[in-house]
Amino acid sequence: MSTWSLAQLLSGLHDDIQQRLERVRKSFGHPGTKGDASESVWLGLLNSYLPQRYQAAKAHVVDSRGAFSDQIDVVVFDRQYSPFIFKYEEQTIIPAESVYAVFEAKQSIDASEVAYAQKKVASVRTLHRTSLPIPHAGGTYPAKPLIPIFGGLLTFESEWSPALGTTLIDALTAGDAAGRLDMGCAAAHGYFALNSTTNRYEIFEGSKPATGFLFQLISRLQFSGTVPMIDVQAYARWLSA
């Protein structure tokens, strides 16, 4: 009889993330170093457990019109169909068409951090994205509609009491559609997700939130489909600029 326990495996995954985030908070004094270490924990989780068609990185996002997003702590992007990802002096630039989700990673969640994350998410969602018709053996499929870009906030803990109560909901609903946060996690407390059917936020407290958030993200990525076929020539026009 097997001695494996799925419950213990999933619990261990969450415990590892929470403990690493807690060590970061306690061990590093410099805010910049602490922030980089927190980002590294979340990036490691996503790159370890998301399907290999996805990759996560700290990056800027660019569109074919030459506009750039703010720097984003965690960008989940396509690695299977994306034609190029530009790296220069340790900076990663990702085409807007390749992006599935963007997250800010902070030590704790409060109203100011929610507003900051909304601004960062909006800087990506407002970029222009191309979509070309898709050739196949029998002809051409129409250009694929643009998929939604998910946005969120990842933290170790919450500054509120209760940690994920009405104050959080008020902060999340204060922004506009461009900056909407679809999901997020405070690893010490729980995670939240916007229900697309009811357009209301749902709070999931306890129950190993880092693992719960990961599964929520994977589920949403499954239903979002594949990124559109990028118009590479739209980017190539900048060669003569």
Domains of the chain, residue spans:
6-133+141-240
Per-residue confidence (pLDDT) for residue 172, from 0 to 100: 97
Per-residue confidence (pLDDT) for residue 89, from 0 to 100: 76
Q: pLDDT-derived band of residue 96, with 50, 70 and 90 as boundaries?
A: very high
The CA-based angle 217-221-225, given to 5 degrees, is 170
Question: What residues are annotated to the active site?
Answer: 73, 104, 106
At 64-93, the pLDDT tens digits run 999 999 999 999 999 877 777 888 777 899
Per-residue confidence (pLDDT) for residue 29, from 0 to 100: 59
Least confident of 38-47, 99-108, 147-156: 38-47
Q: Distance between CA 186 and CA 203 in Å, rounded?
A: 11
Per-residue confidence (pLDDT) for residue 190, from 0 to 100: 94
Q: pLDDT-derived band of residue 37, with 50, 70 and 90 as boundaries?
A: confident
pTM of the shown model = 0.90
| More confident of the two residues 88 and 145 | 145
